[in-house]
A and B are shown apart, each in its own frame.
Chain A
Amino acid sequence: MSIFENFFRLSVFSLVRDRFLYLLFSLALIALLLIPAFSMFSMRQVQELSVTLCLSALSFLLLVVTVLTGSSSLWRDIEKRYTFSVLGLPVSRAGFVLGKFSAVALLLAVVAAVFGAGSFAAIKVAAGVYPSDIPVAWGVFCAAVAFDVLKYLMLLAILFFLSALSTSFYFPFLAGIAVFIAGSASQEVYEYVQGAYGKGITPAAKAVITGIYYLLPNFAAFDLHPHAIYALPVPPGGALLTFVYWLCYTGVMLSLAVWSFSRRELT
Chain B
Amino acid sequence: MIGRVVFGILLCSLVAVAVPFSRSVAERPVLVKLGVLPAAEPLKMISGDQRYLLAQCAVVKVLFYYGTLVEKFQQKIALQPEYGNMFGTLQTAVVLDPWNADAYYFTQAAFTWELGKVDEVNRMLEYGMKSRTWDYQLPFFAGFNAAYFKKDYANAARYFQQAARLRPDPLLTNLSSRYFYESGESRLGLAFLDYMQRHATDSKVIRLYQLRKQALLAVMELQQACDRYAARFGHLPEKISDLVAAGLVERVPADPYGGSFYIDDKGKIRSTSKFAFAPQTAWPEKTTPKEMHP
Contacts and interface: CB of A to CB of B under 8 A. Distances in A.
Contacts of A192: 41, 45
A225 B52 contact: yes
A56 B49 contact: yes
Given A42-B56, A229-B99, A189 B105 contact: no
A89 B5 CA distance: 59
Interface of B is mostly: helix
Interface stretch (A44-52, A77-85, A255-263): A44-52
B101 A219 contact: no
Contact of A45 (B47, B102, B205): B102
B52 A226 contact: yes
A134 B50 contact: no
Interface string A212-239: 0000000110110110011000000000
A132 to B, nearest CB: 9
Given A43-B105, A49-B56, A226 B48 contact: no
B102 A42 contact: yes
Among B60, B100, B105, B135, which residue has the most Cβ atoms of chain A within 10 A? Answer: B100
Given A42-B102, A229-B99, A56 B52 contact: yes
Interface string B44-77: 1111111011001001100100000000000000
Interface residues of B, number: 28
Contacts of A230: 99, 132
- How big is chain A's contact interface, by range? 20 to 34
B173 to A, nearest CB: 19
Given A181-B46, A225-B49, A225-B52, 14 more contacts: A41-B56, A41-B60, A42-B60, A43-B101, A45-B102, A52-B56, A59-B50, A130-B201, A133-B135, A184-B46, A184-B48, A184-B49, A226-B97, A230-B132
15 contacts: A41-B60, A43-B63, A44-B105, A45-B100, A48-B99, A48-B101, A53-B53, A60-B50, A133-B135, A184-B47, A184-B48, A184-B49, A188-B41, A223-B48, A226-B99
Interface of A: 41-46, 48-49, 52-53, 55-56, 59-60, 130, 133-134, 148, 180-181, 184-185, 188-189, 192, 219-220, 222-223, 225-226, 229-230
Interface of B: 41, 44-50, 52-53, 56, 59-60, 63, 97, 99-102, 105-106, 132, 134-135, 200-202, 205
